[in-house]
Amino acid sequence: MKLINGTELSNKLNEENRIEVLKFKRKPKLQIYQVGDDFSSNKYIKYKQKKAKDLGIEFELLRFKNNVLEEVVIEQINKSNNDDSVTAIIVQLPIPKHINQINIIKAIDPIKDADGFTPVAMGETVLGLPINPPATPKGIMKLIEGEKINLIGSDVVIIGRSNIVGKPLANMLINKQATVTICNTKTNNLDTHIKNAEIIIAAAGSPNLINKNNIGHNQIVIDVGSNYVNGKYCGDANFDEIKNEVSLITPVPGGVGPMTIWALFDNVIQLYKLQNKNNT
């Protein structure tokens, strides 16, 4: 068993980005929209703020009360779209149910979409032409590249069909000539799909989903799960049960998570360069 160390790789890539930002004529600026006061969101936003500072990227948080009207948020997004000082926009999820998440995401100018969630970014991801693909899939692909894992013809099983991970990641892998099966927790014969895969990417949010009863031998496991069990942070794979059966595995924490943050800020930098083609 070998750990795929996302922390180590992300540190190297972040340092490269920090040096690149120093060469820009002005600092890129990231705006984060937050609706309400979700505890987890507050934690993630503080981490992003710290990472922005480390990279030399300006950071601005726009907070709205939980009962804000959808049109008020969209109006502000339109202002940010037209503000040349704003490089990139993120809407911190989740948002309250009275606001249509799709409408909010569609309001973001694709050239300022750091998360890669707009229909344009998703469509370009399918076509293999993305400037700003969704951050977690982008981070996963960079991990795979870093480990020199051969994707051509490989049997890859993704467990999870979300717009954030499963769907865009499947298309990114297909564009690399992998053979991809998308499953979910309701998939018939899920254990068989898991056992027969060469590469397993677990993004279901279901602890102990990958375990000693369904793991094969010498497989690669990329664990995207984010769960709390008995006060302990864990992924979708039972790490202790399967670690001696697999050839490569991402730990949780320290695997995909740091790479997602790298990818998010790398998107900010790529958007800045696109917006300033002749003035970087």
Residues with a known catalytic role: 48, 92, 115
Neighbours of 181 (CB within 10 A): 14
The owner of tokens 């490269």 is 16
Nearest by Cα to 259 from 134, 131, 126? 134
CA–CA distance, 158 with 26 (Å, rounded to integer): 40
Angle between helices 6-22 and 256-275 (to 10 degrees): 20
CA–CA distance, 125 with 164 (Å, rounded to integer): 12
Dihedral of alpha carbons 66, 72, 78, 82, sign: negative
Residue 259 and residue 51 in contact, taking contact as beta carbons nearer than 8 Å: no
